[in-house]
């Protein structure tokens, strides 16, 4: 089998797995909603969420792990780079917070909030379940597997767009959808620009963790952070290395459309 054939097979396998994963997530969440009591303790829900994350996100990421695509950028890992990632995570939180609030008012459905922790142990559990574990597992799957496979099988823009859409829609949270789309796009771009999975992992972890103690920022700070993120995004796009153009196969497009439609079902059912 030729190298191109192996790449096509890898992309087809990936998309089939994502289709099955989406269906399994949809079914599992419906079953849990029917079986679990509405007054279930928050800590128990967090533990169940961690188990679901490990099963549906971590396991596929582990089984399908692969090397970095040659079509990503290359930046040497450094403390400065990770600090920049952390700052970008905070800046993105500042940028999407007012957007999420406006979107929630438009939907008359505010974003789901986590109750404040009553103890240090509960806070650590929230940090692990809501920030650290999702950052590691979701980045391993979406930026470590999905993006790399799609980059080797189609256009760079198509890989960026589909990775962002898959990541955002799989969350199934309509109130936070604009935030997931913006932040997912930034995470994908960060991986494409740096070629280092630790960068989006740190961005993701800091972004999620900041929600546990976020108290808002002044309008001027929001404008500053938004402008900084926009400028960095434009810079990253303009400095991406040029590579040979590739087109996505028709079969991959059809599979991707089926995945996105199935992901949309959870919003209709929710």
Write out pLDDT tens, residues 200-227: 999 999 999 988 776 555 555 666 666 6
| Pairwise CA distance, residues 3 & 43, whole Å | 48
Q: Are 203 and 134 in contact (CB under 8 A)?
A: no
**Residue 43, CA distances (Å) to 38, 84, 135, 257 in order:** 13, 32, 19, 36
| Pairwise CA distance, residues 88 & 229, whole Å | 7
pLDDT 10s digits, 26-82: 999 889 888 888 888 888 889 999 999 999 999 999 988 877 776 677 778 888 888
Structural domain that includes position 228: 3-269
Give me the number of domains the chain comprises.
Answer: 1
So what's the pLDDT on residue 40? 84
What mean pLDDT comes out for the span 111-139?
A: 84
Enclosing H/E stretch for 1 = none
């Amino acid at each position: 089998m030729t190298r191109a054939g192996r790449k096509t097979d890898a992309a087809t396998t990936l998309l089939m797995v994502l289709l099955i994963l989406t269906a399994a997530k949809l079914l599992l969440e419906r079953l849990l909603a029917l079986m679990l009591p509405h007054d279930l303790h928050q800590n128990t829900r967090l533990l169940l969420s961690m188990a679901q994350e490990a099963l549906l996100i971590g396991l596929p990421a582990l089984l399908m792990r692969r090397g970095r695509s040659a079509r990503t950028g290359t930046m040497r890992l450094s403390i400065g780079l990770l600090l920049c990632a952390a700052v970008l995570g905070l800046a993105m939180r500042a940028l999407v917070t007012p957007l999420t609030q406006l979107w929630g008012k438009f939907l008359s459905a505010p974003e789901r909030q986590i109750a404040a922790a009553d103890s240090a142990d509960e806070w650590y559990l929230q940090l692990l379940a809501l920030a650290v574990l999702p950052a590691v597992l979701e980045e391993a799957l979406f930026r470590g597997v999905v993006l790399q496979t799609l980059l080797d099988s189609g256009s760079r823009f198509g890989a960026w767009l589909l990775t962002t859409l898959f990541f955002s829609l799989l969350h199934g949270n309509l109130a936070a959808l604009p935030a997931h789309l913006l932040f997912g796009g930034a995470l994908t771009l960060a991986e494409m620009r740096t070629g280092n999975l630790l960068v989006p992992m740190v961005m993701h972890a800091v972004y999620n963790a900041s929600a546990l103690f976020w108290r808002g920022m002044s309008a001027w700070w929001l404008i500053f952070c938004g402008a900084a993120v926009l400028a960095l995004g434009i810079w990253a796009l303009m400095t991406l290395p040029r590579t040979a153009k590739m087109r996505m196969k028709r079969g991959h497009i059809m599979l991707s459309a089926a995945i996105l439609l199935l992901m949309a079902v959870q919003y209709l059912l929710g």
